[in-house]
Amino acid sequence: MQWRVKSHFFRNTFLLDIYCKGYIIVLHRLSRGGEPLIGSGLLLFFLVLFTVALYRRYYPVKGVPCLPIDQVSSRLLIVDLRDYNEVNDHVFRHALHIPVAYIKRQVPSIPRQPLHVVARDAVEKNVGIRLLCNYGYEVKSYSIAACDCRKRRRTNRWNTIKKSKTA
C-alpha cells in the first residue's frame, strides 16, 4: 500500500490530506476561527442536554416500590400528583393534592414525613419523585392511579403454581 502525505495552506486554513490508492482521507482541519469545533461542541452540548431530559422523565427512580393504595402504611403521607380535574375526592380524602407543576411553589406546605406518591402515569411519577427527593423529602412508595401494582410486580410472573380455570 502506497501512502502519500500532502499538506498545504489555503485561505488561512491548514489541510493535511492523505492519499491512499486514489482515496482522499482528510485527517485534520484547523481553521483560524474554529468553526468545526464550535459546531461539534454545540451538537455535543445539545445531545447531553437531551439525554438528561430523557433520563429525568423516563428512567424509573431506583429504590421506590409500587404499592397498591390499600396497602399503604398509615404513617405515610399520601401526596396526589395528578391534576385537580383528575382527582377523585372520596377515594383519597386524607391525601395532599399537589400537581407536579405546582410542587416547587407548594414545598413549604408539605410536612416533613415519609411520602407515598399517587401519579397518573410513569412520566408524572418519575418527575414528581425526583422533584420531591431534590427538595429533601423521603419518598417510600408510589401508586399509579390506572394501574394495579400487583400486576406490575415481577414475582408474579415467575409463579409456577398452575391455577385451575374450573375450580
Q: Which of 37, 58, 79 is the last residue of a domain?
A: 58
- CATH code of the domain containing 97: 3.40.250.10
| Residue-wise pLDDT tens digits, 101-138 | 999 999 999 999 999 999 999 999 999 999 999 999 99
Kindly state whether residues 9 and 43 are assigned to the same domain: yes
Which residue range is the domain that position 122 belongs to? 69-151
Residues 69 and 127: their CA atoms lie apart, in Å, by 20
Count how many domains the chain has.
2
Is 46 inside a domain boundary? yes
Within the chain, strands assigned E span: 3-10, 13-20, 23-31, 77-80, 96-97, 115-119, 139-144
| Residue-wise pLDDT tens digits, 41-57 | 888 899 999 999 999 99
Kindly state whether residues 75 and 23 are assigned to the same domain: no
Kindly state whether residues 45 and 83 are assigned to the same domain: no
Is 162 inside a domain boundary? no
Q: pTM, whole model, 2 decimals?
A: 0.66
